[in-house]
């Protein structure tokens, strides 16, 4: 199971990015606009905006390897989730609600740094979801900057 | 022919917003990290700040390809860089300039004493693409 501490973190985090790789071991990055933990406590559903899914499906079909890094900015608390692709689907209205909550958290967190006039562009930074995929999380790593960065928090299948 | 960085990316690299980096180990496990700085070296090279993540360091020495996303929040865009690792520097003008910028970023974000540059990793630019997005209605 994904630890409760991490589930609480996911409920306050506001920035995400995913990584895959193709059959030639070339890495590909994908902007992330939402995430949620399934009721089984092991599966992470990750949302991507339009334009962020290049090479994604062919990489999943080739090898299924996925890494997702999620951060609470500007506090810099960050964790990386590694696992296996389970399935993907087009985004649905419920996904857009998840993204909207993350967008609100991002704007609330960054606006004091960026200034009031920046609100429209901060909102646009978190784009609406177009695609959702599920990951069976197997490992979680600390990536918060500092001496503990890189430590494995959960070993093997969660 | 070498891929050249457009002039329009220069201010984006200097905006102090963290970038996202993906690498892959020789046994095929991707790794996604946040990096503090993408430094313009010349028209065909950038340097990435190596601060904490030994996995990224190991990966690019096993498999030199890397994927970096640089965010231009004000410009409503993200820049996608495909890179290939060439070498690492722990002294010299690139390292010194990056070290000074890291100190400034750390100071501005309350991370003084935590952000510390260990090396400047130099990458050749394989491709560069700008992806624009729109304001929400």
Q: Convert the pLDDT of each residue in B1-35 to its tens digit.
A: 689 999 999 999 998 899 999 999 999 999 999 99
How far apart CA A81 and CA B130 sit, in angstroms, is 27
Q: Convert the pLDDT of each residue in A99-109 to its tens digit.
A: 999 999 999 99
CB within 8 Å: A29 and B51: no
CB within 8 Å: B65 and A51: no
Is residue A39 one of the residues assigned to a domain? yes
Chain B residue closest in CA terms to A148: B52
The DSSP call for residue B9 is G
**Closest to B28 in 3D by CA, of A67, A45, A143:** A67
Q: Secondary structure of chain A: what % helix, strand, coil (to 5)?
A: 30, 40, 30
Distances in Å between the alpha carbon of A39 and those of A16, A36, A42, B92, B98?
21, 10, 8, 52, 44
Burial class (CB in 10 A: 0-12, 13-18, 19+), B54: exposed
**Nearest CB neighbour to B55, from listed A25, A125, A150:** A150
Is residue A153 one of the residues assigned to a domain? no
B100 at A interface, C-beta within 8 A? no
Chain A residue closest in CA terms to B57: A150
Rounded mean pLDDT, B69-97: 96
Looking at residue A126, its pLDDT comes to: 96
**Residue B92 pLDDT > 90, yes or no?**
yes
Average pLDDT, chain B: 91
- Name the residue with higher pLDDT: B114 or A59: A59
Looking at residue B51, its pLDDT comes to: 77
Q: Which chain A residues touch B if contact means CB-CB below 8 Å?
A: 17-21, 25-29, 31, 49, 51, 63, 65-69, 71, 73-74, 76, 78, 80, 82, 114, 118, 120-125, 127-128, 141, 143, 145-146, 149-150
Is residue A152 one of the residues assigned to a domain? no
Looking at residue A2, its pLDDT comes to: 92
Enclosing domain of residue A93: 4-147
Report field, pTM of the whole predicted structure over 0.90: yes
CB within 8 Å: B76 and A27: no
**Closest to A81 in 3D by CA, of A69, A73, A91:** A69
CB within 8 Å: B30 and A127: no
Average pLDDT for consecutive 10-residue bins of chain A (158 residues)? 94 98 98 96 96 92 97 94 97 98 96 91 96 96 87 72
How far apart are the CA of B48 and the nearest CA of chain A, in angstroms? Answer: 16
Looking at residue B53, its pLDDT comes to: 61
Looking at residue A134, its pLDDT comes to: 97
Looking at residue A58, its pLDDT comes to: 94
How far apart are the CA of B34 and the nearest CA of chain A, in angstroms? Answer: 8
Is residue A94 one of the residues assigned to a domain? yes
Phi-psi region of B94 (alpha: psi -120 to 50; beta: other; left: phi over 0): alpha
Looking at residue B46, its pLDDT comes to: 98
Looking at residue B133, its pLDDT comes to: 87
CB within 8 Å: B111 and A145: yes
> Domain total for chain A?
1
How far apart CA B126 and CA B137 sit, in angstroms, is 36
- Name the residue with higher pLDDT: B42 or A155: B42
- CATH number of the domain bearing residue A42: 2.30.110.10
Rounded mean pLDDT, B101-110: 78
**Closest to B71 in 3D by CA, of B7, B4, B137, B11:** B11
Both structure tokens of B20:
């996202």
Which residues on chain A are in Cβ contact (under 8 Å) with B23?
A: 19, 27
CATH top-level class of B7-132: mainly beta
């Amino acid at each position: 199971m994904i630890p409760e501490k991490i589930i609480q973190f996911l409920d306050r985090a506001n920035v995400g990015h995913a990584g895959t790789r193709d059959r030639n071991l070339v890495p590909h990055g994908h902007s992330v606009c939402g995430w949620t933990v399934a009721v089984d406590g092991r599966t992470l559903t990750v949302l991507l905006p339009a334009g962020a899914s290049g090479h994604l499906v062919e990489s999943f079909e080739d090898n299924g390897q996925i890494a997702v890094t999620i951060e609470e900015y500007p506090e810099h608390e960050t964790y990386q989730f590694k696992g296996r692709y389970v399935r993907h689907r087009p985004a649905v209205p419920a996904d857009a609600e998840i993204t909207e909550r993350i967008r609100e958290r991002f704007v609330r967190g960054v606006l004091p740094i960026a200034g009031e006039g920046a609100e429209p562009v901060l909102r646009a930074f978190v784009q609406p979801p177009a695609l959702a995929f599920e990951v069976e999380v197997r490992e979680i790593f600390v990536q918060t900057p500092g001496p503990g960065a890189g430590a494995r928090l959960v070993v093997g299948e969660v | 022919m070498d891929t050249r960085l457009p002039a329009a990316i220069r201010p984006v690299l200097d905006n102090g917003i963290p970038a996202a980096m993906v690498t892959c180990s020789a046994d095929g496990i991707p790794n996604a990290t946040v990096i503090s700085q993408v430094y313009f070296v010349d028209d065909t090279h950038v340097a990435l700040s190596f601060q904490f993540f030994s996995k990224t360091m190991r990966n690019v020495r096993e498999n030199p390809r890397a994927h970096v996303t640089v965010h231009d929040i004000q410009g409503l865009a993200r820049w996608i860089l495909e890179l290939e690792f060439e070498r690492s520097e722990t002294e010299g003008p690139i390292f010194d300039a990056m070290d000074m910028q890291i100190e400034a970023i750390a100071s501005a974000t309350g991370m003084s004493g935590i952000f510390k540059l260990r090396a400047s990793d130099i990458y050749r630019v394989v491709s560069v693409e700008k992806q624009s997005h729109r304001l929400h209605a």
